[in-house]
């Protein structure tokens, strides 16, 4: 039995990544759940519009955090601000007597819940009205996020295995002597999965909308653009992982390590605004965070493309980054193994080794 | 890149088809990988229309040498002269160049497409190769369902599909049954007859004897090179055979029912030296190298 235990430890020591995961994962989970797992939103970015904006803004108490006061704007401008996610709540005041209306962005479920609760507790000082998701249904918010999560899962894991399989089978050597450029091989590896994942994405979106009655209020083309960019990122990430891994087990492990944080920290489950700053920044480097902004915005809020320029741009940048990384790394794989020694010194070294 | 068929060659030869005056090969190559010397000043000429065999045990440097020829390993010193990679055919060891999830036909089609061969040229070439390799009945079988020998033959077909100028085969016949080995040799001879330069690594010394020239490697260094007959003639020391070792056990080895014994230098009194075959000869070269190494 001791022999078996010893052998297992020896093997484990060789597999550095598993060791790292065993030690790092519990710490990571602790930190992430500790700092990120917070459903309560304490700060609501609030904009006050209408003739009495200045007075009403004075009276608003936390969680309403007044970030701008625009007496010249009206309800239509307020809705626009919500659509573009410039504010979570817009308080619309009017010249007539009566409590002002608090327009609440229902696409951000937890801030919306906080806002409605606070408005309800104001003893009639605010009349809440939830837009985009009037009944504050969880499924409405989850479906746009799930579309991205499923893509990240399938896209990254399936492609991560692709090149590693060739490496393990030895066919990578054969590819290296065939007239292919590294980008040819990578494009060939990605194209079928891109098509499959795109079909998958349409399927999940359509069925999700039908089953849960989620409205698709925005522009399909904007959604498609965001989806395509996001797919490029997750597929490219898969290929990058593939070029970094020596076997399928490693590739699978790494793929899961990239997908897990995306699910937890992209704002899909825990609201980004409620996270501790350190953890939130992790969320901001993950592609799913940006796809979430796009799918949520387009599907629920009919967000204009101008307000989604940032997430779209970030995804495009990430796609370029990930692909360049994969191609460069893969070029190293296909390049002839270069001798370590400087040519001039080689005979001396050779003499030593003999 | 023009593909030529036998008979048409000559008039339309592209520059790539013409070997430099000294021919293709590896000249004075030293390869140092991870601080160990994989090849030490090795020279191997690979003339067109000939089969050149690289012989040696495990870790002798055979694979490294072949990989320098197809541009997969850079030399630390020395020179490699080979056609551009596209004009080389490479069969890695153990049929690992075959896509197991693809059928025989799909494997061939994929490699053909990579080399931009299609239509009639592909159909003809495919039929020709399948017939020659005895794979015509297995066209639709998945490569993973093929026997080891059939898979090796498929790997060979993939390497030669685009009629390379230089064909590099890494142990094409290792682990293959005797009948398939005969098939493989027929394919190799055919390739050489079509004016391809063929280089093959092998651990079977009877195969090495059939090659035009032979290079015997040990620990990255050249033990012997030249025509098989010349290598046999140059066998160092004295070789005897008998029922029991005639000297120290480490200088003796079994061949069938007999035991060969070897010692450096000329025959001693009463000894009846025998002429070596390739296997005895390579062992004698190896022992001689060890002996001189110990002495120095």
DSSP chain B: -----TTTTTTT--GGGSPPTT-SEEEEEEEEETTEEEEEEEEEE--TT-EEEEE--TTSSHHHHHHHHTTSB--SEEEEE---GGGEEEE-GGGTTS-TTSBHHHHHHHHHHHTT--HHHHHHHHHHHHHHHT-GGGTTSBGGGS-HHHHHHHHHHHHHTT--SEEEEESTTTT--HHHHHHHHHHHHHHHHTT-EEEEEES-HHHHHHSSEEEEEETTEEEEEE-HHHHHHT--SEEEEESS-SS-GGGEEEETTEEEEEESSSPPTT-------HHHHHHHHHHHHHHHHHH-
Flag whether A350 is in a domain: no
For strand B213-218 and strand B221-226, is the pairing parallel, antiparallel, or unpaired? Answer: antiparallel
User: Measured between alpha carbons, how far is A252 from B103 in angstroms, rounded to an integer?
Assistant: 27
**Residues of chain B found within 8 Å of residue A178, distances taken between Cβ atoms:** 111, 114-115
What residue in A sits closest to B75 (Cα-Cα)? A339
**Mutate: best of A165, A187, A336, A352, partner B, most B CBs <10 A:** A336
Q: Check residue B81 and give its pLDDT.
A: 87
**Residues of chain B found within 8 Å of residue A182, distances taken between Cβ atoms:** none
Q: Check residue A31 and give its pLDDT.
A: 77
Higher pLDDT, B9 or B91: B91
Higher pLDDT, A339 or A247: A247
CA atoms in the 13 A half-sphere facing the CB of A155: 31
Give the domain range for residue A26.
2-36
Interface contact flag, B96 A171, Cβ < 8 Å = yes
Exposure pattern of A269-279 as b/e (b: 16+ CB <10 Å)?
A: ebbbbbbeeeb
Interface contact flag, B72 A337, Cβ < 8 Å = yes
Exposure pattern of B256-265 as b/e (b: 16+ CB <10 Å)?
A: eeebbbbbee
Average pLDDT over residues A90-107: 76
> A260: which 2 tokens?
């897990």
Predicted confidence (pLDDT) at residue B263 exceeds the cutoff of 50: yes
Separation in Å, CA of A129 to nearest CA in chain B: 59
User: Measured between alpha carbons, how far is A141 from A105 in angstroms, rounded to an integer?
Assistant: 11
**Residues of chain B found within 8 Å of residue A338, distances taken between Cβ atoms:** 74
Interface contact flag, B33 A176, Cβ < 8 Å = no
Interface contact flag, A350 B97, Cβ < 8 Å = no
Flag whether A48 is in a domain: yes
Q: How confident is the model at residue A292 (pLDDT cuts 50, 70, 90)?
A: confident
Q: In this predicted structure, which of A86-95, A165-174, B102-111, B211-220 has the lowest mean pLDDT?
A: A86-95
Q: Check residue A8 and give its pLDDT.
A: 86
| All residues at 6 or more sequence positions from B149 whose CB lies less than 8 Å from its CB, including other chains | B176, B177, B179, B180, B181, B183
Cβ atoms of B236 and B285 within 8 Å: the answer is yes
Q: Which residues pair with B73 in a beta bridge?
A: A337
Total structural domains in chain A?
3
A115 plus A151 within the same structural domain = no
Flag whether A85 is in a domain: yes
Q: How confident is the model at residue A351 (pLDDT cuts 50, 70, 90)?
A: very low
A120 plus A166 within the same structural domain = no
**Residues of chain B found within 8 Å of residue A354, distances taken between Cβ atoms:** 37, 40, 219, 221
Nearest to B115 among A169, A179, A354 (CB): A179
Flag whether A276 is in a domain: yes
What residue in A sits closest to B76 (Cα-Cα)? A343
A282 plus A174 within the same structural domain = yes
Predicted confidence (pLDDT) at residue B7 exceeds the cutoff of 60: no
A28 plus A49 within the same structural domain = no
Q: Which residues pair with A48 in a beta bridge?
A: A69, A91
Cβ atoms of A14 and A32 within 8 Å: the answer is no
Average pLDDT, chain A: 79
Interface contact flag, B96 A354, Cβ < 8 Å = no
User: Measured between alpha carbons, how far is B116 from A85 in angstroms, rounded to an integer?
Assistant: 52
Q: How confident is the model at residue B206 (pLDDT cuts 50, 70, 90)?
A: confident
Domain termination residue (choose one: A101, A131, A161): A131
B213-240, pLDDT tens digit by residue? 999 998 888 988 899 999 998 888 888 8
Q: How far is CA B46 from CA A341, B17, B75, in A?
A: 27, 14, 17
Predicted confidence (pLDDT) at residue A345 exceeds the cutoff of 50: no
Q: How confident is the model at residue B2 (pLDDT cuts 50, 70, 90)?
A: very low
B113-146, pLDDT tens digit by residue? 989 888 898 999 999 999 888 888 888 999 989 8
Q: Check residue B167 and give its pLDDT.
A: 93
Q: Check residue A185 and give its pLDDT.
A: 86
Predicted confidence (pLDDT) at residue B279 exceeds the cutoff of 50: yes
**Mutate: best of A163, A166, A168, A178, partner B, most B CBs <10 A:** A178
Q: How confident is the model at residue A248 (pLDDT cuts 50, 70, 90)?
A: confident
**Residues of chain A found within 8 Å of residue B99, distances taken between Cβ atoms:** 169, 171
Q: Check residue B54 and give its pLDDT.
A: 93
**Complex prediction ipTM:** 0.75
Q: Check residue A28 and give its pLDDT.
A: 78
Nearest to B32 among A174, A176, A349 (CB): A349
B9-22, pLDDT tens digit by residue? 333 334 445 556 66
Q: Which residues pair with B226 in a beta bridge?
A: B214
Average pLDDT over residues A51-74: 73
Nearest to B96 among A170, A336, A343 (CB): A170
Flag whether A189 is in a domain: yes
Predicted confidence (pLDDT) at residue A50 exceeds the cutoff of 80: no
Interface contact flag, B33 A337, Cβ < 8 Å = yes
Flag whether A292 is in a domain: yes
Highest mean pLDDT among A100-114, A211-225, B155-169: B155-169
What residue in A sits closest to B98 (Cα-Cα)? A171
Interface contact flag, B96 A173, Cβ < 8 Å = yes
User: Measured between alpha carbons, how far is A295 from A136 in angstroms, rounded to an integer?
Assistant: 17
Separation in Å, CA of A188 to nearest CA in chain B: 12
User: Measured between alpha carbons, how far is B112 from B118 in angstroms, rounded to an integer?
Assistant: 7
Nearest to A169 among B96, B219, B221 (CB): B96
Separation in Å, CA of A161 to nearest CA in chain B: 14
Interface contact flag, B111 A346, Cβ < 8 Å = no
Q: Percentage of chain B with pLDDT > 70?
A: 92
Q: How far is CA A343 from CA A260, A288, A310, B77, in A?
A: 47, 48, 50, 5
Residue A46 φ/ψ, nearest 5 degrees? -120, 135
User: Measured between alpha carbons, how far is B189 from B144 in angstroms, rounded to an integer?
Assistant: 27
Average pLDDT over residues A52-74: 73
User: Taking the CB of residue B70, how many other CB atoms lie within 10 A of it?
Assistant: 24
Q: Is the dihedral of CA A197, A199, A205, A210 positive or negative?
A: negative
Q: Check residue A338 and give its pLDDT.
A: 60
User: Measured between alpha carbons, how far is A98 from A58 in angstroms, rounded to an integer?
Assistant: 17
A303 plus A168 within the same structural domain = yes
Q: Residue for token digits 């003999």?
A: A354
Cα pseudo-dihedral A334, B84, A346, B91, rounded to 10? 60
> A332: which 2 tokens?
């190293």
Q: Check residue B294 and give its pLDDT.
A: 67
Nearest to A147 by CA among A79, A218, A224: A224
Flag whether A340 is in a domain: no
Q: Check residue A104 and give its pLDDT.
A: 81
**Residues of chain B found within 8 Å of residue A161, distances taken between Cβ atoms:** none
B23-46, pLDDT tens digit by residue? 788 888 888 877 788 888 888 888
**Mutate: best of B32, B38, B63, B116, partner A, most A CBs <10 A:** B32
Domain termination residue (choose one: A113, A131, A149): A131
Residue A103 φ/ψ, nearest 5 degrees? -85, 125
How many CB pairs below 8 Å do chains A and B form together? 88
For strand B77-81 and strand B213-218, is the pairing parallel, antiparallel, or unpaired? Answer: unpaired
Predicted confidence (pLDDT) at residue A167 exceeds the cutoff of 50: yes
A168 plus A316 within the same structural domain = yes
Interface of chain A against chain B, CB under 8 Å?
A: 169-171, 173-174, 176-180, 336-343, 346-347, 349-350, 353-354
Q: In this predicted structure, which of A64-78, A161-175, A306-320, B50-64 has the lowest mean pLDDT?
A: A64-78
What residue in A sits closest to B115 (Cα-Cα)? A179
Q: Check residue A53 and give its pLDDT.
A: 67
Nearest to B97 among A171, A336, A349 (CB): A171
Predicted confidence (pLDDT) at residue B52 exceeds the cutoff of 90: yes
Residue B240 φ/ψ, nearest 5 degrees? -130, 165
Domain termination residue (choose one: A76, A97, A131): A131
A248 plus A304 within the same structural domain = yes
Q: How confident is the model at residue A339 (pLDDT cuts 50, 70, 90)?
A: low
A228 plus A322 within the same structural domain = yes
Q: Check residue B3 and give its pLDDT.
A: 34
A315 plus A193 within the same structural domain = yes
**Mutate: best of B1, B77, B113, partner A, most A CBs <10 A:** B77
Higher pLDDT, A58 or B257: B257
Nearest to A343 among B70, B76, B100 (CB): B76
Q: In this predicted structure, which of A92-106, A277-291, B165-179 has the lowest mean pLDDT?
A: A92-106
A224 plus A121 within the same structural domain = no
For residue A267, give the H/E element and its range: none
Separation in Å, CA of A337 to nearest CA in chain B: 5
Nearest to A255 by CA among A267, A271, A266, A239: A239
A329 plus A223 within the same structural domain = yes
Average pLDDT, chain B: 84
Nearest to A225 by CA among A313, A300, A302, A132: A313
Cα pseudo-dihedral B225, B227, B233, B235, rounded to 10? 30
Nearest to B36 among A177, A342, A353 (CB): A353
Nearest to B76 among A170, A173, A341 (CB): A341
Q: Percentage of chain A with pLDDT > 90?
A: 2
Average pLDDT over residues A331-341: 66
User: Measured between alpha carbons, how far is B246 from B236 in angstroms, rounded to an integer?
Assistant: 17
Domains of chain B: 25-224 (3.40.50.300), 229-295 (no CATH)
**Residues of chain A found within 8 Å of residue B219, distances taken between Cβ atoms:** 354
Q: How confident is the model at residue B295 (pLDDT cuts 50, 70, 90)?
A: low
Flag whether A341 is in a domain: no
Highest mean pLDDT among A176-180, A296-300, B107-111: B107-111
User: Measured between alpha carbons, how far is A271 from A275 in angstroms, rounded to an integer?
Assistant: 7
A324 plus A191 within the same structural domain = yes
What residue in A sits closest to B78 (Cα-Cα)? A343
Residue A269 φ/ψ, nearest 5 degrees? -100, -60
Q: In this predicted structure, which of A182-196, A234-248, A255-269 has the lowest mean pLDDT?
A: A255-269
Q: Check residue B198 and give its pLDDT.
A: 93
């Amino acid at each position: 039995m001791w022999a078996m235990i010893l052998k297992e430890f020896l093997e484990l020591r060789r597999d550095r990544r598993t060791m790292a995961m065993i030690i790092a994962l519990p710490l990571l989970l602790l930190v992430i759940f500790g700092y990120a797992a917070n459903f309560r939103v304490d700060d609501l970015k609030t904009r006050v519009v209408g003739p009495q904006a200045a007075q009403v803004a004075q009276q608003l108490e936390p969680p309403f955090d007044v970030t701008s006061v625009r007496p010249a704007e009206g309800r239509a401008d307020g809705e626009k601000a919500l659509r573009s996610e410039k504010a979570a709540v817009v308080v619309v005041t009017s010249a007539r007597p009566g409590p002002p209306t608090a327009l609440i962005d229902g696409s951000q479920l937890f801030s919306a819940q906080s806002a409605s609760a606070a408005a309800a507790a104001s003893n009639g000082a605010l009349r809440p009205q939830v837009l985009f998701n009037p009944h504050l249904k969880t499924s409405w918010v989850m479906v746009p996020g799930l579309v991205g999560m499923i893509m990240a899962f399938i896209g990254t894991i399936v492609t991560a295995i692709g090149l590693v399989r060739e490496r393990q089978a030895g066919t990578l050597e054969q590819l290296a002597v065939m007239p292919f450029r590294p980008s040819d091989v990578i494009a060939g590896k990605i194209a079928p999965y891109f098509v499959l994942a795109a079909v998958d994405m349409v399927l999940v979106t359509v069925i999700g909308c039908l089953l849960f009655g989620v409205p698709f209020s925005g522009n399909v083309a904007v959604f498609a653009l965001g989806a395509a960019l996001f797919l490029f990122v997750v597929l490219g990430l898969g290929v990058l992982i593939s070029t970094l891994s020596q076997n399928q087990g490693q590739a699978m492990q790494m793929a899961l390590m990239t997908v897990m944080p995306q699910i937890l920290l992209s704002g899909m489950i825990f609201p980004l605004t409620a996270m501790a700053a350190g953890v939130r920044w992790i969320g901001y480097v993950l592609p799913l965070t940006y796809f979430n902004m796009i799918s949520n915005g387009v599907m629920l809020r009919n967000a204009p493309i101008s307000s989604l320029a940032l997430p779209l741009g970030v995804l495009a940048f990430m796609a370029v980054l990930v692909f360049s990384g994969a191609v460069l790394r893969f070029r190293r794989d296909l390049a002839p193994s270069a001798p370590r020694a400087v040519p001039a010194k080689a005979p001396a070294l050779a003499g030593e080794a003999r | 890149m023009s593909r030529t068929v036998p008979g048409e060659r000559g008039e339309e030869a592209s520059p790539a088809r013409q070997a430099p005056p000294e021919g293709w090969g590896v000249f004075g190559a030293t390869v140092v990988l991870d601080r160990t010397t994989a090849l030490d000043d090795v020279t191997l000429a690979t003339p067109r229309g000939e089969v050149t065999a690289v012989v040696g045990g495990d870790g002798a440097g055979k694979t490294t040498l072949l990989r320098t020829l197809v541009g997969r390993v850079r030399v630390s010193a020395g020179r490699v002269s080979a056609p551009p990679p596209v004009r080389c055919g490479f069969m890695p060891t153990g049929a690992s160049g075959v896509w197991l999830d693809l059928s025989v036909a799909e494997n061939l089609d994929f490699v053909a497409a990579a080399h931009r061969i299609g239509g009639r040229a592909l159909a003809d070439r495919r039929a020709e190769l399948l017939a020659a390799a005895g794979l015509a009945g297995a066209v639709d079988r998945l490569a993973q369902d093929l026997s080891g020998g059939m898979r090796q033959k498929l790997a060979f077909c993939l390497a030669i599909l685009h009629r390379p100028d230089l064909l590099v085969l890494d142990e094409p016949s290792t682990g293959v049954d005797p009948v398939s080995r005969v098939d493989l040799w027929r394919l190799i001879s055919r390739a050489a007859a079509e004016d391809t330069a063929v280089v093959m690594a092998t651990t079977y010394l009877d195969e090495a004897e059939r090659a035009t020239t032979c290079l015997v490697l040990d620990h990255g260094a050249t033990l012997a090179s030249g025509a098989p007959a010349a290598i046999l003639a140059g066998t160092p020391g004295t070789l005897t055979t008998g029922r029991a070792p005639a000297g120290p056990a480490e200088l003796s080895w079994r061949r069938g029912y007999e035991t060969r014994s070897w010692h450096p230098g000329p025959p001693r009194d009463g000894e009846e030296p025998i002429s070596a075959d390739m296997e005895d000869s390579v062992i004698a070269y190896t022992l001689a190298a060890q002996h001189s190494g110990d002495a120095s």
